[in-house]
A and B are shown apart, each in its own frame.
Chain A
């Protein structure tokens, strides 16, 4: 679990070398202005606004255009300070008392100033003061809250995270109002200085897990974090595995539910995707709907999902193995029609399957990247070319088309894209094995996958739990989704320090019976 720390090159911050960043502010306003200007040399979006407080004291307001609320600056800061009602020269504290704002912080160094300016908080500097004031007036254009496209639900909340960290935090806080929802803030990225929040619920999440997440995040030294995917790859357990070891979601309800299981949520500024750790294989088969629909339906759908997961990985290989090695397994009538359909096909079953699967993947990828209006064209082309023309031309057998289509649909049933794509990928080596050694190769492929999954861990939690190692109590939420009145306990491996989620025996029944 603990990787041996390799000796890394010395930390280098190009900006830091630039000079006097950590120096305290000077009492001379002109010198402050000069240094700030030298730091922000060539940044045309930085605005320096000199003015006189009550016509007497020289003052300076520094902010970045577009990050701060200029209307508020005019009405709440400049208007009261420049009014003639103040009749004497005043110091910083008195000035702050005159500003009609709730969020004012004192800054003492240039470093503080830069951080606040970059975050959109205007800095107010005054003559003869070695301190400045950071005004909480950050405001920029943000996307409105919408339903996430990648995780749509039939029943459930229609809100999704946005690119702004503050909004995302507030969405979590609105779901979990308890003060036990704690957050640790850290900044990663020498250039981007991206804010990253580790959210957890005190008393449910394991302290060692929080420490581990913090440790791994602290080790990250990178120039920028533009998406949570950067972080994911830098903190996961096994970097060579195709399987995702952190769950990404756009939905506050999913994040909250996982927080309540004792998991940790990592929010990254600038992306609506938050990371959840630790997760198991079965987490990727739990759609948010499962918990909102009726339990029986959810359970059936979840079992179907897992069944189709097996189909999506093994069906093409099974077809290849059976049609080229074990024809005796196929019922006589079917093998006759299979043989007649394959008569004109020039390829072996393996080549046929590989070609078709690759074409299918290409179609899927093409449809994904194109604009929505053109995307429909791809599916038409795909359906016509692959579905019909290829069969008529005798390049592939119709049976293979059916197999590829079922496989495709099956892989789309996995609610998480990251897991689905991993499973689609491992289909190819298994096809090769099945094409060379038949069902024996298929069995070997299955064994290899299972062994790999058995070795995998996500932040100390075995990837295949609760199946292997078997945790009987957690089975209630793995293959099936038990009714809410049975989901009394949290997941053992993440929430064992606060075992009970609800009062027992809540099965509804008539009174006095």
Chain B
């Protein structure tokens, strides 16, 4: 075991929630809005099905190999050679995802908060902060999310209350005017985000209470679904069909908040709070990358490779997309296929092979006690 820390299933759920939600809140309302229009609230519900499925698959795999992560147990399923290739592809995927998230983070902070600050300052600072947490191990991650996530969730109900007077619930009618097909198209993007629940695979081996792992993963997915639905509804109530034409519509909605002419223009404050969630998301992916690498190379400790990988993900972030539009197009057309392929389809294939293999071995020899 590379990390001696232990976390609870509840802490894991708090880490997974921002892992899906933090960047989904930026992109998903806009993408779904473009397909579905006023029915965009239904897309996350359909998309979350993939989240539940992915969580279930990875939990089943975890049950078969309780003390290992996917990168480690794949060698029991598809043999050492293929598993090394699979592990490497996952590591590259995590590397890409870290860069993707960091770039998204930079675009958002750069556009809305610090337009003149150089890219390297924004990306570098958050990577350094993330590496600080990762050297502390999974326990520190869990504790930090216990502090950050309640603050991170808090704005949703506060928005809703403050914006109540501007709501026009009629915007949502008529429901499903064009049938289910556009909703299915719109669900393509959210389901990709929901497949990021895959990262429970890295955390399940550290659980003190592994039997609650599935329950809390489901709760986490459900909470993200609820948050996305409510935010989509909120933007529809406010903007109607116009939602899709805004970049970051949720944050556009914040501008409408005005209480007694004193609390106005709270975007900067809201973005500051969003940073906490985004930070957890970056840290979780960064941790998965570093830990996965240590497991893939059979290193005894992952701490020495934290900073080198920090440099690498910063470079990936700088290289990946030239502008927001490019990233947006990627999120719309490639992301919904690429990410679920890595995070849902491959684990499902692994699970099927593992099931077949165990069935075959059970036929040949009496069942042996797995390494519990």
Contact = CB atoms under 8 A, between A and B. Distances in A.
B147 interface: yes
B272 A440 contact: yes
A interface, over-half SS? helix
A450 B283 CA distance: 14
A62 B235 CA distance: 90
Interface string A12-34: 00000000000000000000000
Nearest to B146: A468
Query: Chain B contact residues (Cβ within 8 angstroms of A): what range?
Result: 35 or more
Contact of A440 (B8, B132, B275): B275
Interface in B1-25: 8, 10-11
Contacts of A450: 144, 147-148
A95 B109 CA distance: 88
A437 B148 CA distance: 20
B279 interface: yes
B109 A440 contact: yes
B265 interface: yes
Contacts of B184: none
B129 A444 contact: yes
A451 B140 contact: yes
Contacts of B140: 451, 454-455
A437 B117 contact: yes
Name which of B8, B113, B147, B265 has the most chain A CB atoms within 10 A of its CB.
Answer: B147
Which bucket holds chain A's interface residue count?
A: 20 to 34
Contact of B143 (A331, A437, A439, A464): A464
Interface in B100-142: 109, 113-114, 117, 121-122, 125-126, 129, 132-133, 136, 139-140, 142
B113 A448 contact: no
Interface in A399-448: 437-440, 442-444, 446-448
A454 B136 contact: yes
Interface string A462-496: 10100111100000000000000000000000000
Contact of A469 (B8, B114, B133): B8
Contacts of A442: 272
A455 B113 contact: no
Contacts of A455: 136, 140
Contacts of B147: 450, 454, 464, 467-468
A328 interface: yes
A439 B133 contact: no
Given A440-B122, A444-B125, A447-B144, 7 more contacts: A326-B268, A438-B114, A444-B129, A451-B144, A464-B147, A468-B143, A469-B11
Q: Nearest 6 A-B pairs (CB), nearest first? A: A468-B143, A468-B146, A454-B143, A443-B275, A326-B268, A455-B136
29 contacts: A326-B268, A328-B265, A329-B264, A329-B265, A329-B268, A331-B261, A331-B262, A438-B113, A438-B114, A439-B113, A439-B268, A440-B109, A440-B113, A440-B275, A442-B272, A443-B276, A444-B125, A444-B129, A447-B144, A450-B148, A452-B132, A454-B139, A454-B140, A454-B147, A462-B139, A468-B142, A468-B143, A468-B147, A469-B11
